[in-house]
Structure 1
Amino acid sequence: MAQAQGAQPGQIEITSLPVPRLQELKTQLDAELTHLSNSFQSLRTAQSKFRDCLTSISTGLTPATVSKPLLVPLTSSLYVPGKLTDHEHVLVDVGTGFFVEKDIASAKDFYERKVKDLGDSLKDLEGVVQGKAQNVRVVEEVIRLKVMNAQEGKGEEQGS
């Protein structure tokens, strides 16, 4: 965030900004950091759900489970009794409320790709979050130094 002597065009040296403007910048950076952190958490939650789906397919679909009764979730708190009639095919939620019937191998592949894609996105987003956090720390440090310098200047004026 702090610029070197050869600052690029369109960039401003943050040490030249007044404290109120730096506080506005810090507020903006904090809001961006909060938004990015929430997005990071949402991606991690989605990745966890895809992993759960992958685990369910891998461990829950065997020929022995065809005749066993089970509870089918309609919502997070409402389940209805059901029976598994086909252990070779599953319905996969491909997004925006669309479901596709896939065989077990295709469904596993789909969920593995989703987990991998989300993992890549999480790595990228983690770098952005760390960069924003560093920017916030730099702005906080500049504000702290400017406030200390202003207080020292007032102390010297009163002492004269």
Structure 2
Amino acid sequence: MAGAEKGQQIDLSSLSAQQLSQVKKQLDDEVQHLTNSYQSLKRAQAKFRECIANVKSGVAGSAKDKPILVPLTSSLYVPGKLADTEHVLVDVGTGFYVEKTTADAEKFYNGKVEELGSNIKELENIANGKAQNLRMVEEVLRQKMTAGQQQGGQGSASAT
């Protein structure tokens, strides 16, 4: 099994049913983790797309000096007015904000969407490979279980 972790191939038919079950459980866990990661990346990508839409529509020149609600927390908003429609504060991660022009903010968010898109594609390929490996392990395990049942049935029939 240590060889499998280093990327070496293992002849699945040489493993016992118990070892195959362990490999199957490990692959199940990996596929589940990759699926959760995939969903997280898709949510992050959707949030960045929402940011792009907000920069395009929410900071339009027509919004200047009109009353708006400014979020202080996820459930607390205070009234305010948009003073500058050319500059925005961009959350660049871990609580750091940078002032950017709306065009630069849009470029920043588009870059994030593209970066996440390539990460999502990589993750899809990895997840598909793991899922294929899982199907192969399940098939070999199923064959071993069927062969074991047939041998068990023949052994008890010849004993009578």
TM-score (norm 2): 0.90
Matched residue, 2:152: 154
Three-state SS of the structure 1 residue aligned to 2:88 is strand
Q: Counterpart of 1:87 in 2: which secondary structure?
A: coil
Q: Which amino acid is the alignment partner of residue 61 of structure 2?
A: P
Identity, % of aligned positions: 53
81 and 138 in structure 1: CA distance in 2 versus 1, 3 angstrom threshold = same
Give unpaired runs (5+ residues) of structure 1.
1-8
Shift of residue 92, structure 1, vs aligned partner: 0.5
Q: Partner residue of 1:3? A: none
Deviation per CA, 1:66-110, whole angstroms, max 9, x where unpaired?
Answer: 111111223332222221110000000111111000001111110
1:120 maps to 2:118: yes
What's 1:6 paired with? none
Gapped runs of 5+ residues in structure 2?
1-6
**Matched position secondary structure for 2:70:** strand
Task: Tell me the CA shift for residue 136 of structure 1.
Answer: 1.0
2:47 corresponds to which of 46, 49, 58: 49
Aligned to 1:93: 91
Distance 1:98 1:142 in 2: 51
Q: How many residues align?
A: 152
1:134 is matched with which residue? Answer: 132
Distance in 1, Cα, partners of 2:80 & 2:130: 49
AA at the equivalent of 1:24? Q
Counterpart residue identity of residue 122, structure 1: I
Match of 1:5 in 2: none
Q: Helix, strand or coil for the counterpart of 1:49?
A: helix
SS in structure 2 opposite 1:76?
coil
Instruction: Compute the TM-score of the two structures, normalised by the length of structure 1.
Output: 0.90
